[in-house]
Amino acid sequence: MNDPVVKNPWSALRAYTDARIGLGRAGISVPTHELLNFQLSHAKARDAVHLPLHVNALLEGFARLPLDIRLLGEGKAEGLLQEGVSPILLHSQAQSRDSYLQRPDLGRRLDDRSRQSLEALQQGASYDLAIVVVDGLSSLAIHENALTFIQTLTKELAKDTQEWKLAPFCIVEQGRVAIGDEVGELLHVKSVVVLIGERPGLSSPDSLGLYMTYAPKVGLTDAYRNCISNIRKEGLSYEEAAKKTLYLLKESRKLQLSGVAIKERAYEDETLKMTQEKNFLLN
């Protein structure tokens, strides 16, 4: 029996992308297996939005997270590692998932108890960087990627020639990107990095996003933030994302700004070299 599915010549390109291209057809319809795959991906995306943040698992992960003690400002011995840290648990003003989804404004501000705990913690200390983990629209992305990326990023920070003193790590439930501004302002940090679960796509329910802001304070718009997206095993690797983040942090510290005023040139030298080597017009 002949295959009832008419293949699309573009289907060969699916070896290079998760995008739904070259699906083929059965008569005038989408083939059944492609329709079922779409429904499965849609179900995974919905699950990622509603999956609760497993706070206890995150705390256990942080307790085992190897961290160069120089980043905590508690020691100067080169290469000395500390086993684990204890993050601060915070919550936005959205007290349930339903209110979080219906009232984005509530997800951008801390509730009274969280704000008071940070105010009590802050006693004149100053930090170079705060790393804030936020569930956002995909707790799955946090579970799958956050701790591994933090470990990769802190290794890069420890190797840098400049000193980076970290504020206590924070975990925020029912939070959105802008909540990092309030956390950073209360902790008196120079820069804040928010790791947040991105809005799930149909091929990437586990995508981690990163937003960096210099001199964070309540009321800043997205124009003051730099974003690195799609951090996950099948997307932007942890190593590449950490390299880009360190570049942005160093540029931000040097220029004392962030957002649209900073152009991302982390790979500019490599790109220029490749262009010169392969462009026949230059040979």
Q: Terminus-to-terminus CA distance in the chain, angstroms?
A: 55
Whether 206 and 144 have beta carbons less than 8 Å apart is answered as yes
Alpha carbon distance 187, 190 (integer Å): 9
**Number of other residues whose CB lies within 10 A of the CB of residue 272:** 10
Tokens describing residue 148? 């591994």
- Mean residue pLDDT of the chain comes to 89
Q: Please state, in angstroms and rounded to a whole number, the distance separating the CA atoms of residues 153 and 246.
A: 8
The contacts of residue 265 (CB under 8 Å, 6+ apart) are 247
Closest by CA position to 8, among listed 24, 20, 19, 21: 24
Q: Which residues of 77-91 are buried (b: 16+ CB within 10 A; e: fewer)?
A: eeeeeeeebebbebb
Residue 188, phi then psi, degrees to nearest 5? 60, 50
What is the tens place of the pLDDT at every residue in 165-192?
999 999 999 999 999 999 999 999 999 9
| pLDDT (0 to 100) of residue 272 | 56
Reported as a single tens digit per residue, the pLDDT across 37-56 is 999 999 999 999 999 999 99
Read off the tokens for 17. 């992308």
Token pair 């079922």: residue: 36
Annotated binding residue at 198?
Answer: yes
SS (H, E, C) 221-263: CHHHEEEEEEECCCCECHHHHHHHHHHHHHHHHHHCCCHHHCC
Distance between CA atoms of 122 and 74, rounded to whole angstroms? 17
Query: Is residue 56 within 8 Å of residue 64, measured between CB atoms?
Result: no
97-117 confidence digits (pLDDT tens): 999 999 999 999 999 999 999
Residue 119 annotated in ligand binding: no
Cβ atoms of 196 and 208 within 8 Å: the answer is: yes
- The answer to whether 170 is a known ligand-binding residue is no
192 contacts 212 by C-beta, under 8 angstroms: yes
Is-contact 36 47, C-beta < 8 A? no
Q: Name the residue with tokens 């100067």.
A: 76
Assess contact for 232 and 204: CB atoms under 8 A: yes
Mean pLDDT, residues 202-214 taken together: 93
Token readout for 14 is 């699916």
Is pLDDT at 130 greater than 60 in this prediction?
Answer: yes
**Per-residue pLDDT at 261 exceeds 90:** no
pTM for the full predicted model: 0.87
pLDDT value for 262: 84
Residues 193/184, Cβ–Cβ less than 8 Å: no
Residues in the chain: 283
122 vs 82, residue with greater confidence: 82
Return the structure tokens found at 239: 């190593």
